[in-house]
Amino acid sequence: MQITFLGTSSGVPTRSRNVSSVALRLPQRAELWLFDCGEGTQHQIIRSELKISQLSRIFITHMHGDHIFGLMGLLATCGLAGNVERIDIYGPPGLNDYIQAASRYSYTHFSYPIKVHAIRPGIIYEDDDFTVSCGNLHHRITAFGYRVAEKDRSGRFDIEKAKALQIPPGRVYGQLKRGETVTLADGRVIDGTQLCGPTEIGRKIAYCTDTIYCDGAVELAHDADVLIHEATFAHQDADMAFQRLHSTTTMAAQTALAAGAHRLIMSHFSPRYAPGNTLELKDLLQEARAIFPRTDMAYDFMIHEVPRRREVELTKVGV
């Protein structure tokens, strides 16, 4: 699971930061999932190592322009040069009307299937490997946060132990790898869990923007390996944050702390904290780390590999 930040500015783009979009690359499936699609997102994808042809799902948090103005351009490009097979789009009520109206007035015809899903809190997508759920955030308009949860997997199968027990190879190995209990032809009952290592805990990613501090974000980020959370304002500008229902750095950090998240990556920064101003982004990072030390600050084209829990544990013990 690889996260690429395609846009990390709030409201308007700057010279170094585009508006909101985050890509989740799933190499084992050759799939690309996108979260929000601000203006210019397709240009950011082209500049990155991501492949538009792998785009299969787009998740929109809310209908403000800096999160959706790049959607129609990207969808049109996918039809003209993207070679995508199908795209499923998830978002709040009104998203389908927006896409239909934009395609009608621009005479855009999609040469591939598009399905728009109007979401409500709960599980919105599930397959053999992942569950995606959404929950309400607290913003000026209807806004949702997302949680991507990889399903737990049985531990590594000890094939040498299976051979030592004289278990004949074949379909039974697959059953044992899944941790199932099987009865062999000779009458022996074998518990697959005894031949597998510790369960591999599935990775979890939460994406919460735009919102002020709220219980919904804490719930989505529970035990998340990575929480991506907006931090539009510095702590000293909390009054503006409350007026506009955006988060400060300290609110993002408090969300990560309350949720028991393993890492916080802040994004969606106001251009007011550009270099040379009284407060700069490095000051915002210090504010958040004072509350939640495992905090990073996203920048455009930043890539974050989400490690498995087992890999993290081995790193800690120096293996």
**Angle formed by the axes of helices 249-259 and 281-291, nearest 10°:** 30
Query: Which residue in the block uniquely carries the two structure tokens 């949680």?
Result: 147
Region 269-290: mean pLDDT is 94
Q: Residue 319's pLDDT is what?
A: 39
Extract long-range pairs of 308-315: CB within 8 Å, 24+ residues apart: 308/200, 308/201, 308/203, 309/200, 309/201, 309/203, 309/225, 310/198, 310/200, 310/201, 312/262
**Residues taking part in catalysis:** 66
Q: Is 210 annotated as a binding residue?
A: yes
With a cut of 90, say whether residue 158 has pLDDT above it: no
pLDDT in tens, 63-114: 999 999 999 999 999 988 768 899 999 999 999 999 999 999 999 999 899 9
With a cut of 70, say whether residue 23 has pLDDT above it: yes
Q: Is 304 annotated as a binding residue?
A: no
Domains of the chain: 2-152+202-315 (3.60.15.10), 156-197 (no CATH)
Rounded Cα distance between 296 and 164, Å, is 48
Q: Is 117 annotated as a binding residue?
A: no
% of the chain exceeding 90 in pLDDT: 77
